[in-house]
Structure 1
């Protein structure tokens, strides 16, 4: 099963590379068309994609480090490098979101609301459809391999698609005598980027501080408590390392059981945890009643 963990991380790298390739293409296209077509929102969208390249590279590096096997000072492996990569991506996205928001507001304040060329609208729409396709791929892959950093990248892909839709609406509106819609769309782009960055930051910091979903923990308790031979579950802790969960539990059993019989109970618990919850890192401490 350990080999499967590293294979999943390898698959996650494919999703990161797809994001990088898409961002390189779309960032170049948006910035070029945005400048010649005089669209603030499309330029903001293109600048967003430039930083997305950096964020995707951070995710890619995190996935590569996470694939390193345990060593003398990383006994649990390097899985948390993946979560750290998500945190770095969040910081990058937040800094860009604030910059885009500031420039959009500045454009509105200065009254620079020239109507952009219609080609910028079609570029934004094309970009939205392309990024939605990348989002669908990465979202499904992240769920399949249970990758937090790839899920963060997928959320970024989705926000980028929404950003491009917003730019399309703003640019189209400016063609009907409402040129101020374009910088307003740029402001909305900044807000969406900041919101997505905050969500990724919240999830990453929650994981790094050993936060664990209460509902999932309750289901784990039921599984352990229902295992034959377990009299009571007296203590349980769980934490997440990248795409892996680690569970430590203390159970009470019949004091008349010998070591072999007690060990069989722990093996049953480990088997059930893997089958029902996909958790293969389980440490069970046994105490007599």
Structure 2
């Protein structure tokens, strides 16, 4: 079985890809340290406990990106003639399912706590011979978790569209919005300090809802990508324009009377078919098709392979 050609990123895209991988390694190290600090300071606070689990599960998209992109860039073979580019889509699906599962679990746990008689208390902690309210340590841990997450998220948001990676984009969105979840956690801790114990599980429920929302949104996109939905932009702001650009280019060729295309996403790249109606008397059709395929690939680095088939007519969809 004949495999497709190996994918090579343009130099600028390759630099962006390497930068994204470095950021994800930094993310894994940073979130791991933040989770440890949250665990050591969470005490009996439900909101802090939820924030800890949020940090744990937020490592999944970063790991999914690192593993998925590494597998996706393996060279095609006779066993995998289309390559392993869909590893990124599988990684995206895995990360989304992890978010959904954790969000549901934490939301159920927070709801039970709200309606139970168990009240959250935050006692004192001895620090360098001085007893201080444990809530201050919790708030410091929350700040350590939230502020760098916001910065890393913004950095990744700029990189994701450049390499057309939806796992990176989903990870960036979650990290950028992490400050909102951490703010809810901080409010829960302060509520306990002021004597309003119910604020703590309520804040945990709000954080859980945010986790679940992220999971459901990304799960929907991941599933639709795997069933070959029409390609969508990386930031989910609308449909990808590349199919129209390829179609317009083909229709602009002097030997083509009409054309239509059918493209699908394979991780970072696009592959598909084009159907062209040649004008009468067209000569050297094989050479013209080869040149048209090369012109299509030149439009965008993501357009990796286009099979062009000459047809007598193009039926239009109703």
Asked whether the two chains share a fold, i.e. TM above 0.5, the reply is yes
Instruction: Answer yes or no: is 1:40 the counterpart of 2:46.
Output: yes
Structure 1 122/11 Cα, relative in aligned 2: closer, same or farther at 3 Å?
closer
Match of 1:21 in 2: 29
Q: Which is further off, 24-33 or 8-17?
A: 8-17
Cα distance in structure 1, aligned partners of 2:119 and 2:306? 60
Residue 185 of structure 2: aligned partner: 167
Rounded Cα–Cα distance in structure 1 between residues aligned with 2:262 and 2:106: 42
Q: Secondary structure at the match of 2:175?
A: helix
1:232 aligns with 2:258: yes
Gaps of 5+ in 1: none
Determine if the alignment matches structure 1 residue 275 to structure 2 residue 306: no
How far has the Cα of 1:159 moved from its partner? 4.2
Aligned position for 1:191: 209
1:2-21 equivalence runs, <5 A: 2-4=7-9, 7=14, 10-21=18-29
- Using the TM superposition, name which of 48-57 and 38-47 deviates more: 48-57
**CA shift digits 1:52-103 (9 cap, x unpaired):** 3344323322121111110112112111001101111111111111121122
- Whether the aligned pair in 2 keeps the contact of 1:31 and 1:46 (CA below 8 Å) is yes
Where does 1:213-228 land on structure 2 (aligned, <5 Å)? 213=231, 214=239, 216=241, 217-228=243-254
Whole-angstrom distance in 2 between the partners of 1:223 and 1:169:
56
How far did 1:9 drift? 5.2
* TM-score normalized with structure 1 length: 0.87
Once the two structures are overlaid, the 10-residue window that deviates more, 176-185 or 166-175, is 166-175
Aligned partners of 1:252 and 1:274: how far apart in 2?
22
Alpha-carbon separation, structure 1, partners of 2:91 and 2:85: 11
- The whole-number CA distance in structure 1 between the counterparts of 2:164 and 2:299 is 15
1:30 aligns with 2:38: yes
TM-score (norm 2): 0.80
1:276 to 1:49, Cα distance in 2 relative to 1, 3 A:
same
Q: 1:212 — aligned with what? A: 230
Counterpart of 1:114 (choices 117, 120, 127) is: 120
Check conservation: 2:151, 2:176, Cα contact below 8 A: no
1:126-163, CA deviations, whole angstroms, 9 ceiling, x for partnerless residues? 32111111111222221221112222222332343332
Structure 2 spans left out of the alignment, 5+ residues: 1-5, 123-134, 232-238, 314-318
Larger helix fraction of residues: 1
SS of corresponding position for 2:262: strand
C-alpha deviation, 1:193, in angstroms: 0.8
> Does 2:107 align with 1:101?
yes
* CA shift in 2, pair 1:275/1:215, >3 Å: closer
Structure 1 counterpart SS, 2:271: strand
- Corresponding residue for 2:267? 242
Q: Matches of 2:54 and 2:151 in 1, distance apart?
A: 18
Distance 1:185 1:171 in 2: 9
Contact 1:26 1:49 in 2 (8 A): yes
1:62 equivalent in alignment to 2:68 = yes
Structure-2 residue corresponding to 1:88: 94
Report 1:115-154 matches (<5 A): 115-116=121-122, 117-154=135-172
Q: Is the 8 A contact 2:268 2:302 kept in 1?
A: no
CA distance in 1, matches of 2:195, 2:28: 37
RMSD: 2.6
